[in-house]
Amino acid sequence: MSVPRYFIPQPMVRIMAALLLAAAWSPHSAAAEHAGFKDDIFPILQKYCVQCHQPGSQGYESSGLDLRSYEGLMRGTKHGPIVVPGDAFLSNLNVLIEGRAAAHLRMPYQSKKLSRWERLLFRRWVNRGAKDN
């Protein structure tokens, strides 16, 4: 019995499928790679954050963080910057939304946490320089 030329051993097929699947869901996928403020980040801020982080609201009064615009986000809080362009690990924004802060400081405050995809978009955007694009 001859083996067809296109025969690929079953373990190899599984490895190839796993690699293709991993590449498709990778943090390096095209959508995450090109996360932009206007189209990706700001809609998330509007959905979860702006209601508390604008003048007259509790989050703004306690932190001074105004999330109604790119300029407000980059201005940071009364305690200092919240975004370190190019370094999501050190950016307080990422620390707060990724759950790396104390429980009482995690954001969004008293709300459902951001999805894994939303957190990934923030991380990629910050690591790419946190540009107003």
Q: What is the pLDDT of residues 40-71, one digit of tens each?
A: 999 999 999 999 999 999 999 999 999 999 99
Parse the chain into domains and list their residue ranges. 41-127
Alpha-carbon distance 24 to 30, whole Å? Answer: 9
Whether the predicted pLDDT of 19 surpasses 80: no
| pLDDT band with cut points at 50, 70 and 90 for residue 34 | confident
Query: CA torsion 125→43→69→108, rounded to 10°?
Result: -80
Model-level pTM?
0.74
Asked if 48 contacts 54 with a C-beta cutoff of 8 angstroms, the reply is: no
Q: Which secondary-structure segment (H or E) carries 19?
A: helix 10-24
3-class DSSP state of 80: strand
Other C-beta atoms lying within 10 Å of the C-beta of residue 35? 21
Token pair belonging to 67: 């999330």
The confidence score (pLDDT) of residue 28 equals 46
The confidence score (pLDDT) of residue 96 equals 96
3-class DSSP state of 101: coil
List CB contacts of 114: < 8 A, sequence separation 6 or more. 44, 48, 97, 108, 122
